[in-house]
Chains A and B, each alone.
Chain A
Amino acid sequence: MAKQTFTTGSVLTATQMNNLQANDYNWTVSQKTASYVLVAADAGTRIEMNAAGATTVTVNTGLFSAGDTLFIQNIGAGACTVTAGTATVNKATAGSLTLSQYQGGTLYFVSASSAVFFADAGYTPPLTTKGDLFTYSTDNTRLPVGTNGQALLADSTTATGLKWGSAGSTPSYSLIGTGTTTSGSTVTVSGISGINNLMVIFRAISTDTAGSTITFRLNSDSSTLYGRGYTGVYLEPTYSPNSQIDSGNVTGQNSYLIGTVTSGAAAGTVSGYAQIAGCNSTGIKMINVLAGNTAASGWTSNTMRISGGTYTGTSTISSISVIAGSGTFDAGSFDVYGSI
């Protein structure tokens, strides 16, 4: 029975009283077979949707009073969505305004212009397929299972903040570029993208100036963001007390030392490798270098350097440059290998 309005002098009839009493246990039902816009007389009744296709029940302002309640239920195959027209319709964060078949809920007005929809326990989660995960974007959402071996990863760029992908898998390296150090004073391999681990092989690099350092930079960044701890072994061509081992620590460098050309003119060359991890992240990049130089003349020494260090730039790595501290390159090359 629809809500009754009594005024002074109105007579409550036995029929009305019985109907009002019955309504507590047997609400008046108004069945709709198409989308429907609520009217004031719907307060205190059940709106029963029964349509094969999708329908809506629209809620407008100025028709109901605070405390008015009605029940919306859907027995049709088509989903019914409670829709805010000119009124506001709130719901629980995890709730839904869409009613599948045999679902329903109470629409409770907190004012003439605002209602809350309390969906009954018949809520159907959005899961449909084996392996689906119940996630949330702006509403409850299913995340289909990934492929075999994939792991669930956080990814703020996706709608749900989650995705399936490879995690902790064994790196698979491939050659991505080569720089030829036969001229110039800086040789750069650029265009690196999406690579997390770099392995750089330095092959007999030399400059035309004895004593020149050979260093590398990431992203052409000459800021003092490079640091390393190192151990060096210096061996004379024949036994000599000048042969030595030393170790140390340097910070605030504007590039990372690979080695020193002791002879120049392609006679003394630097070879070795650098491993750089974390290149596709915004965190610190970890660097391991093992390199040495050959010595061509008697007064110079063979050197081997082992170092571990960091580059604290926050950008992902897109290039690596090999730099002659003095003079120009006259021999060698470097290969850049990468893995995601």
Chain B
Amino acid sequence: MSEYKEIIFNIQDGTITERPYTAEEIAEVEIATKKLAVEAAEMEKKAVLKKAAHQKLLDLGLTEEEIAAL
């Protein structure tokens, strides 16, 4: 059973009700979540590359100040 749901605060009668997401809504969320996972993986890869490049610059003898000025 999905955890996705809508919570509705009705200001006319003060009631709070819940409605489970429809299959269509769940599919929409899952597509967005998969897209996020791909983006996160790319970002992680980029961060690793950035860190490696930074270390190489340090290994070449550049100071932190010089690296920042690049």
Contact = CB atoms under 8 A, between A and B. Distances in A.
B32 interface: yes
A183 interface: yes
B52 interface: no
B36 interface: yes
A325 B13 contact: no
A209 B13 contact: no
19 contacts: A179-B7, A180-B7, A180-B9, A183-B7, A185-B3, A185-B29, A187-B9, A188-B8, A189-B9, A190-B10, A210-B40, A213-B32, A299-B47, A324-B29, A325-B32, A326-B33, A327-B33, A328-B3, A336-B11
B64 interface: no
A188 B6 contact: yes
Given A184-B4, A191-B12, 18 more contacts: A176-B11, A177-B9, A178-B9, A183-B5, A187-B8, A188-B7, A188-B8, A188-B9, A190-B8, A190-B10, A190-B12, A191-B13, A192-B11, A193-B12, A210-B36, A212-B36, A299-B43, A336-B11
Contacts of B39: 211
Interface in A179-235: 179-180, 183-193, 209-213
Q: What 7 pairs between A and B have smallest CB-CB spacing? A: A191-B12, A177-B11, A186-B6, A184-B7, A191-B11, A326-B33, A211-B36
Contacts of B40: 210-211
Contacts of A184: 4-7, 18
Nearest to A178: B9
A179 B40 CA distance: 30
Contacts of B8: 187-188, 190, 319
A262 to B, nearest CB: 11
B9 A321 contact: no
Q: Chain A: interface residue count, which band?
A: 20 to 34
Contacts of A325: 29, 32
Interface residues of B, number: 21
A183 B3 CA distance: 9
A187 B7 contact: yes
Contact of B36 (A185, A193, A299, A326): A326
B6 A187 contact: yes
A189 to B, nearest CB: 5
A290 B21 CA distance: 29
Contacts of A336: 11
Contacts of A319: 8
A211 B11 CA distance: 31
Contact of B7 (A186, A209, A299, A327): A186
Contacts of A328: 3-4
Interface in A69-118: none
B11 A326 contact: no
B9 A185 contact: no
Identify which of B9, B18, B47 gathers the most chain A CB atoms within 10 Å of its CB.
Answer: B9
Contacts of A176: 11
B23 to A, nearest CB: 14
Contacts of B18: 184
Contacts of A193: 12
